[in-house]
Structures are given as structure tokens and as C-alpha cells.
Chains A and B, each alone.
Chain A
Amino acid sequence: MSPTANKNSITLSEQSLGVIDSKSKAGSLSARALGRSGRQIRMEGLFKRTLVLMGLIMVILVFGILITLIVESVPSIKALGLKYLWGRTWDPVQDIYGAFPFLLGTLLTSFLALLISVPFSIAVAIFLGEYYPKGWFSNFLKNTVELIAAVPSVIYGFWGLAVLVPIVRSLETKIGVPPIGVGIFTSSLILAVMIIPYAASLGRSVIQMVPSPLKEGAYALGATRWEVIRSVVLPYTKSGLFAGILLSLGRALGETMAVTMVIGNTSQLPTSIFAPGNTMASVIANEFTEADKAVYLSALIELGLVLFLVTTVINMIGKRVISRFTND
């Protein structure tokens, strides 16, 4: 049993043994030694209380965020009720607030981004976990994919504006859709690039954890490399991969800056994936500083609350799945 399991027993045992302070004379229970150890015990207690305080601060911080969001959304909830969530018009001039266009925009961009990025993430995970777990170019790939997550989102947005938008525009001219360049599709593309690392690194970890006897048994039965992956590795790591995808989704839902710069910023319901739209995060970024009516501001914060709750739930499910997977 670790000595740190019960802080109080440490103090007791130290007291009974007599603290051998390096500064005191060689270990006798002289009054002077006890006096010093008294102060030290007080310092220890103070330190332990500080640690507890830090833990408490963290909890208070997160609950504080939740409470602030709820308190500030109350005016909007009282005025608009639940139909806020499926109202289709967002018209601050006439005080009509319907969040559905933004919910739709968020869901469309995130799921489309997920759809585009999942094949790549899984491929990276299989590549690093199964085919080439060691070696210099696997290291290179692993580090590069993790660096994708490190690039600031505003830089992705800027690059998207400068490079992706003209490309999408010429694509749209070929298809025959209005060539505006910005829109749901472009944001999904950028989001897809940004969320690859999350599913990839988690996927790699769980794939590496597949026990060798399982795979060797399959090889012994005459399976090819791919068949082992498909029939043994993937089913075994299904929940881990799922958790990784959930983490990617959580990240995509909350992404603000890159999306704001390329989504077109309109409050109309998007009519196609090439149309402009808006996500919950980008509408908050655009309209927060100028919401001058109490209900307007509160409606925006209600969006923030919805965003907070949705991302929290998704991340929690993901983490729950991972912990169950690693404990099984």
C-alpha cells in the first residue's frame, strides 16, 4: 500500500518516528527537533490544503462556466422557449431568433468533414499501428500528422481563403453552381484537414494494443495481412476507433475561426452544400460584440450553451468508451 494513500498516516508515523531534519542534530527527540517538525507539519498541512484548493478551483471553474452560460441565457429561454431550436429565421431587427439554420450549418459542416476525414484518419491509424509501427518514416508520418493539429486555426482560415476558395470556385463553375467559392463545402474541407489527427492518433494507440496472440492465431489459420486487419484488428478496436471519431467530431463542432473565414456568413438556411451558411460558433463570433438588445445577446449565449453541452456530451462519451476499452 502506497504511503501516500493516507496522508494522515504519514503525519502520524512521522510524528511517532520523530522527523529527522537534516539541519537538526543527529536524530533524537529533542524539544528543538520537535519544534521544527511542528512547523513543518503545519507547512505540510498548508501545502496539502493548497493542493485540495487547486482541485476545487478546477471544479468551480467548469461549473462556473456552465452556470454563467445558463444564467445569461435565461432571458432568451424565457422569451422564446423551445421553438428557438427549430425556428428557421434569424432576424435581430424584428426580434425573431431561430437557431435552426446555425444548428444545420454546424451539423452539415461537421459531419461532412468527418465523412471526408475518417478514411484518411483510419488509414493513418492502420498504417502506423499495423503495417509500420517502427521506423524512421513512420516516425515522420506520426509527427507530421500530429503537427496538423498544432497549426492555429486562423492560419488554416487564411490559407483556405487564399488557396482553397479559388479552387472551389473553379470547381463550382465546372459543375454549374454559382461560383462563390465560400460555403459549407469549403468549410467542410478545411475542417476535415484539421480533425484528421484526433482520430488518427487515438486509432493508432488502440490498434497497437491488439494482443499479438489474436493476430498470430489468425495468421496461423491462413489469413492474409488485410484479412487479419479486417477480421481481427478492426473489430477488436471498434470502440476505440469510434471514440477517436467522436473526439474528431467534438473538435469539428466547436471550431470557430477557420470556419468563420470561409463559410459565407449568412443567416439563411443553406440550400445545398455549395451554398453559404453559418455555424453556431461563427455566428457568435460575428454578432456577439454588437448584440445590443438583452434578448439578442441572450439568444447568442443560448447558442453558446447548446454548443457547450453538445461538445461536452460528445467528448464525455468518447472518453467513457476509451476508458472502458482500456480497462477491458
Chain B
Amino acid sequence: MTKMKTNIQFRINKSKGLQLLVIVLAFACVIPLLAILAYIIRAGITKINWRFLTNIPKPVGEVGGGIVNALVGSAIIIGVAAIIAIPLGILCGVYLSENKKSRLAYWCRLCVDVLQGVPSIVVGIVAYFWLVKPLGGFSALSGSAALAIMMLPIVVRSTEETLKLLPDSLKEAAFALGIPFHRVILKVIIPCGFSGILSGVMLSVARIAGETAPLLFTAFGNPYLTTNITKPMHSLPLLIFNYATSPYNDWHDLAWGASVILLVFVLVLNIFTKLITQRWKIQL
């Protein structure tokens, strides 16, 4: 009897011990993120001031200068990429949710999955051959196109998933009222799934905001402020990459400040997205 009791006691202790281990390991995952956040914010927040936000970089080795060309450049490149990817992605998501059985839909779904896993450097190579070489030069447009390719799977996926969640009765009621198909989709279905689609869009923007590899061979970088998308343009991740590996302390400071801005932007987008999806699920 005692042997059985101690055996049970041992097993219970083992269970409790392993539970503790799991808790410790799980919370240990949080540590790197918090450490990174704390370090970057501490290192960078003091570097952000008005001069930082409104000046362009000074010549190599001179102190001062700012990151405005990278800030504006990032905004423009991301904006153009979103303009390219969002309509395409949403319509493709609609197509996939409307056609579950056709051959093309099967291949399309497969290709979206493949695209999601493609390394960003490969997308950069392809954008170089499709857009930079034929057009004869580096441009923000080719950078945006490369980023749009990376945005597509996320937008398509989230649109498809959101629309699948909508009840069929919604569509059937609309058809019963005689509304034509395109109006049903554009005026009824998409607005209903708006928060889900919006969260997909924001996630994809957050994903590409920090992408550097596709821009290495496409947008090229530019020490001046420019808004012409057919010309090379700078961007925050490119700036961070170039300055982080340099020896100049001043450049390191600029890179820390830029990192804070980029990090805060990406995290805010993600947190906002989570709030929206949680609200959306509750509505359903």
C-alpha cells in the first residue's frame, strides 16, 4: 500500500515539476522580446528629435543629419506596394472563397501557399530581373512591386478566411433581393468582412515595413529626399542595415533612432490588428 502511495506521490510530483518547467520555458520566450524592446527603446528614444526627423543625412563622417529621406521613402514605397497588392489580393481572396472546387482555385491556393514561404531575397532577385533590368534603372517602383509580391499571400489568405466565416444566408438573402453578383460581393460581402480584411491588410503592411532584402537590389537607396517613384529611394530598413554595420558612432545613433520608429510602427500595427480581430470574433 505504501509503495503504491509513494509511486502516486512521485508521479504527482513529477507532473507538478514538469508543469513548472513548462511554465518557466514558456515565459522564458517572452524575455528576448522584452529585452530587445527595452534595449532598442532605451538606445534609440533619446536620438529622436526634430532635427533627426527632418534632416537628410550629412556627408560621411560628419555629425548631425537625420533620416527624413528614409522615413518618407519608406512611407511611399509601402504605400505604393499596398496600392498594388490590396485590390489584387482582396479580389483573389474573393475568387478563392467563391470557388472552392474548380481546378484553377486549387492551383491558386497552392501558389498562394508557395508564395507565403518564398524567402524575401528570392523575391528581390526576381524583381531585379523583371523590373530593374528591363526598365534600365533602380526605382522605388520596383521595390514596391517586390514588396507587393510579399504582401499578396497574407492579404489573400485573410480575405479568404474572413469570407469563409460569413454565413451563406447573407449572400442568399442578397441574391433573393435580386442584387447582381458584383454588387453582392462589393457592397454586401466585403463590407461585412471588412474588419477581417483590414486586419489582413495591416498585418501584411507590418510584415513588409521591415523587409530589407527585396529592397537591396531594387530601390537601391538615395541620400536625398525624393518623391519620384521611378527613381531610387531610401527606406528605413535599408538605412538601419547600412548604418548598423558601419564604424561611425553617429550613424549607429541614427540607426537606433530609426529602429525605434520602425519597431513602434510595426508593433502598433500588430497590436491594433489583434484588437480588431478580437472584436470581430466577439461580434460573430
Which of A's residues lie within 8 Å of B, judged by CB? 2-4, 7, 10, 14, 17, 19-22, 40-41, 43-44, 46-48, 50-52, 54-59, 61-65, 68-69, 72, 119-121, 123-124, 126-128, 131, 141, 143-148, 150-159, 161-163, 193, 196, 200, 224-227, 250-251, 253-257, 261, 281, 284-285, 288-289, 301, 304, 307-308, 311-312, 314-316, 319
C-alpha spacing A227/B12, complex, angstroms? 9
Q: Report 8 cross-chain contacts, Cβ distance below 8 Å, ordered by A residue.
A: A14-B180, A126-B22, A131-B19, A141-B29, A152-B237, A155-B210, A155-B259, A196-B29
- Given contacts A65-B126, A151-B36, whether A308 and B182 have CB atoms under 8 Å apart is no
10 more contacts with CB within 8 A, not counting A158-B259, A161-B245, are: A4-B171, A55-B99, A64-B126, A65-B115, A150-B269, A152-B210, A284-B125, A307-B121, A308-B122, A312-B118
B216 touching A144, Cβ below 8 Å: no
Q: Pick the contact of B270 from A128, A150, A308 — CB < 8 Å?
A: A150
Instruction: Report the 6 A-B pairs with minimum CB-CB distance, sorted nearest first.
Output: A152-B210, A254-B119, A123-B25, A47-B182, A315-B117, A226-B15
List the A side residues contacting B141 at CB < 8 Å.
none
Chain A residues whose C-beta falls within 8 Å of the C-beta of B180 in the assembled complex: 14, 19, 40-41, 43-44
- Stretch among B48-56, B59-67, B103-111 lining the A interface: B103-111
| Residues on A with beta carbons closer than 8 Å to the beta carbon of B237 | 152, 154, 257
B19→A162 contact, CB < 8 A: no
Q: Which of B104, B112, B119, B181 contacts A255 (CB 8 A)?
A: B119
- Stretch of B86-94, B193-201, B226-234 lying at the A interface: B86-94
State the CA gap A128–B177 with chains docked (Å).
Answer: 45
Partner of B181, one of A7, A65, A161, A226: A7
Q: Considering the complex, which residues of chain B in the window 4-40 have a beta carbon less than 8 Å from any beta carbon of chain A?
A: 11-12, 14-15, 18-19, 21-23, 25-30, 32-36, 39-40
Contacting residues, chain B, for A162 (C-beta < 8 A): 39, 43
Given A55-B105, A119-B25, the answer on whether A154 and B240 have CB atoms closer than 8 Å is yes
Mask, B225-267, CB within 8 Å of A = 1, is 0000000000001001100110000000001000100110011
Q: Chain A contacts of B94 at CB under 8 A?
A: 51, 54
The answer for the CA separation of A307 and B124 in the assembled complex, in Å, is 13
Whether B36 lies near A304 (C-beta < 8 A) is no
Q: Does B116 contact A (CB under 8 A)?
A: yes
Contact of A148 among B33, B152, B209 (CB under 8 A): B33
The docked-state distance in angstroms from the alpha carbon of A90 to that of B213 is: 22
Which of B11, B23, B39, B119 has the largest number of chain A CB atoms within 10 A? B119
Query: How far is B176's CA from A14's CA once the two chains are assembled, in angstroms?
Result: 9
A58 x B156 contact (CB < 8 A): yes
Q: Which residues of A contact B119 (CB under 8 A)?
A: 253-256, 281, 307-308, 311
Task: Collect the chain A residues with CB atoms within 8 Å of residue B152's CB.
Answer: 58, 61
Could you tell me if B121 and A54 are in contact, using CB atoms closer than 8 angstroms? no
Determine the distance from Cα of A48 to Cα of B111 in the docked complex, in whole angstroms: 20
Chain A neighbourhood of B213, CB < 8 A: 256-257, 281, 285
Q: Do A159 and B114 touch (CB < 8 A)?
A: no
Indicate if the CB atoms of A143 and B33 lie closer than 8 Å. no
B211 at the interface (CB under 8 A from A): yes
**Taking A55-B104, A58-B152, A159-B40 as contacts, is the C-beta distance between A257 and B241 under 8 angstroms?**
yes
Closest A residue to B259 by CB, please name it: A155
Which residues on the A side are within 8 Å of B29 (C-beta)?
120-121, 123-124, 141, 144-145, 148, 196, 200
The complex places the Cα of A97 from the Cα of B175 at a distance, in Å, of: 62
Asked whether, in the complex, the Cβ of A2 is within 8 Å of the Cβ of B168, the reply is yes
Query: Which A residue's beta carbon lies closest to that of B36?
Result: A159
Which B residues are in CB contact (< 8 Å) with A257?
212-213, 237, 241
- Residues from chain A with a CB closer than 8 A to the CB of B21 are 123
Closest-by-CB residue of B relative to A140 is: B30
With an 8 A cutoff between CB atoms, is B222 at the interface?
no
Contact (Cβ within 8 A) B210 A224 = no
Query: Are B182's CB and A14's CB within 8 A?
Result: no
Contacting pair B129 A68 (CB below 8 A) = yes
Decide yes or no whether B192 CB sits under 8 A from chain A: no
Contact status A284-B121, CB under 8 Å: yes
Q: B91 and A226: CB pair below 8 A?
A: no
Please measure, in the bound complex, the distance between the C-alpha atom of A289 and the C-alpha atom of B125, giving whole angstroms.
Answer: 10
Neighbouring A residues of B267 by C-beta, 8 Å: 147, 150-151
Q: Are B11 and A227 in contact (CB under 8 A)?
A: yes
| Complex contact B118–A225 (CB within 8 A) | no
Known contacts A155-B210, A196-B29, A225 near B15 by CB under 8 Å: yes
Kindly identify which residue among A55, A124, A225 contacts B92, using a CB–CB cutoff of 8 Å: A55
Q: How far is the CA of A143 from the CA of B118 in the complex (A)?
A: 25
Q: Known contacts A62-B111, A224-B14: does B125 contact A21 (CB below 8 Å)?
A: no
**Is there contact, CB below 8 Å, between A56 and B182?**
no
Given contacts A59-B108, A61-B111, A161-B245, contact A153 B212 (CB under 8 A): yes
Instruction: Give chain A residues whose Cβ lies under 8 Å from the Cβ of B30.
Output: 141, 144-145
Least Cβ–Cβ distance between B191 and chain A, in angstroms: 16
Residues of A with C-beta under 8 A to B95: 51-52, 54-55
A93 to nearest B CB, angstroms?
A: 22
Report B106 CB to chain A, min CB distance, Å: 10
State how many angstroms separate the Cβ of B16 from the closest Cβ of chain A: 8
B185–A47 touching, CB < 8 Å: yes
Chain A residues lying within 8 Å of B40, measured Cβ to Cβ, are 155, 158-159
Closest to B87 in A: A54
State whether A227 and B15 are in contact (beta carbons under 8 Å apart), knowing that A62-B111, A152-B262 are contacts in the complex: yes
Q: Which of A2, A20, A253, A304 contacts B177 (CB 8 A)?
A: A20
* Interface flag for B140 (CB, 8 Å): no
